[in-house]
Amino acid sequence: METTTPIPDLVAATQRVATADAALLRALETWRLKVAAELQGLSDAFDRHVVAVDAPDGLYDDTIAHEPRLGHQVDVLRREERSLRAALDEALVTLAEPRLAANPILVKGLHAMVHEVVGRLQRYNGRAVSLSFDAVNVDFGDPV
């Protein structure tokens, strides 16, 4: 009498599940590297922007010189720049961790952090554009 065992089928099925699961880790690692590269580019662009607007005779100094009433808005934007810089740095440091992809809770948190930083940068950009517009918008009065 010959007895067969289901162990080879079980081993093969287990290996197939492990292989399928490993695909998620590869995808998360690809995501981590891609987001890190794009966020670094955004970080660099943000730094160039800050250098330009905060430079002596840059947008902010020029705005305050011509429209002192906008000084508070400039102060708010400068504080926001420091906060955004810190948030970008935190996200970049977290993304640099190769073991990140193996921890779904960290991935979810980082995903939310990246979306928050991008949203904050978009809102900051909108306020900076509004400041620029307010600084150059001249009231010509009522036409006669």
- Each residue's pLDDT tens digit, 113-130: 999 999 999 999 999 999
Q: By percentage, how much of the chain surpasses pLDDT 70?
A: 92
Residue 142, pLDDT score: 53
Query: pTM of this prediction?
Result: 0.80
Residues 6+ apart with CB under 8 A from 84: 46, 117, 120, 121, 124
How far apart, in whole angstroms, are the C-alpha atoms of residue 83 and residue 77?
A: 10
Residue 22, pLDDT score: 86
Residue 134, pLDDT score: 84
Length of the chain as a residue count: 144
Mean pLDDT, the chain, whole residue set? 90
Written as six digits, the tokens of 95 are 């993304």
Tens of pLDDT, residues 60-107:
999 999 899 999 999 999 999 999 999 999 999 999 998 888 888 899
How far apart, in whole angstroms, are the C-alpha atoms of residue 132 and residue 129?
A: 5
> Which of 84, 101, 88, 103 is closest to 33 using CA atoms?
101
Residue position matching structure tokens 């794009």: 38
Q: Please state the domain extents for the chain.
A: 32-136
Tell whether the model's pLDDT for residue 137 goes beyond 50: yes
| Dihedral angle computed from the Cα positions of residues 22, 24, 27 and 28, in that order, rounded to the nearest 10 degrees | -110
Tell whether the model's pLDDT for residue 39 goes beyond 80: yes
What's the pLDDT band for 140 if we cut at 50, 70, 90?
very low
- Looking at the chain, the number of H-run helices and the number of E-run strands are 4, 0
